[in-house]
């Protein structure tokens, strides 16, 4: 939750006066074994795309954190076609009220250099880096999106048992 709050503080007020950031953070710390820089990179890259998806700079980005328990193989990790083991997972969910994505765009959103931006605008590896980071941390990604109804991306990481 602290990492999420820090990332949102960097964006709040800098990307259009009409974009509201709403935080719904879990009420206790959730310990995960993860590289802090890489987790910050994931959150920042998703936030950038969420802000850019909001048309006319009028909308909402809601960031939630929490804990979810999964049974054996319950959560399919679509990027590596494997199932996660059972256990407790921490998640961060970033949901925007932007333009949403078609199925075709959603299926390519993590491809290197894929962009829906017009020619001449910055293109890169922002979202393409996310699957590898999540996979290396034994996590998973879910994406829900519909044209005209925004996008909800959730990242799950196993909770550390200390």
Per-residue pLDDT tens digits for 15-68: 667 888 899 999 988 888 888 889 988 998 999 889 889 987 789 999 999 999
Instruction: Reply yes or no on whether the pLDDT at 14 is more than 80.
Output: no
Residues in the chain: 162
Please, what is the average pLDDT of the chain?
A: 83
Strand order in the sheet with 19-24: 19-24, 59-70, 87-96, 151-158, 140-145
Alpha-carbon distance 139 to 158, whole Å?
A: 6
What confidence score (pLDDT) does residue 42 get? 92
Instruction: Reply yes or no on whether the pLDDT at 85 is more than 80.
Output: no
Alpha helical stretches, state H, 15-161: 36-53, 103-108, 130-136
Instruction: Reply yes or no on whether the pLDDT at 116 is more than 90.
Output: no
Instruction: Reply yes or no on whether the pLDDT at 73 is more than 60.
Output: yes
């Amino acid at each position: 939750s602290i990492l999420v709050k820090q990332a949102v503080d960097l964006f709040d007020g800098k990307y259009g006066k009409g974009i509201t950031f709403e935080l719904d953070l879990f009420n206790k710390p959730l310990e995960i074994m993860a590289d802090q820089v890489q987790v910050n990179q994931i959150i920042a890259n998703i936030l950038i795309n969420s802000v850019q998806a909001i048309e006319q700079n009028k909308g909402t980005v809601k960031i939630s954190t929490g804990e979810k328990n999964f049974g054996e193989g319950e959560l399919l990790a679509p990027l590596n076609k494997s199932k996660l083991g059972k256990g407790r997972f921490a998640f961060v969910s970033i949901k925007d009220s932007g333009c949403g994505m078609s199925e075709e765009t959603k299926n390519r959103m993590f491809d290197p250099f894929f962009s829906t931006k017009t020619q001449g605008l910055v293109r890169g590896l922002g979202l393409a880096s996310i699957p590898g980071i999540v996979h290396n941390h034994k996590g998973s990604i879910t994406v829900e999106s519909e044209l005209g109804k925004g996008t909800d991306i959730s990242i799950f990481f196993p909770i550390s048992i200390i």
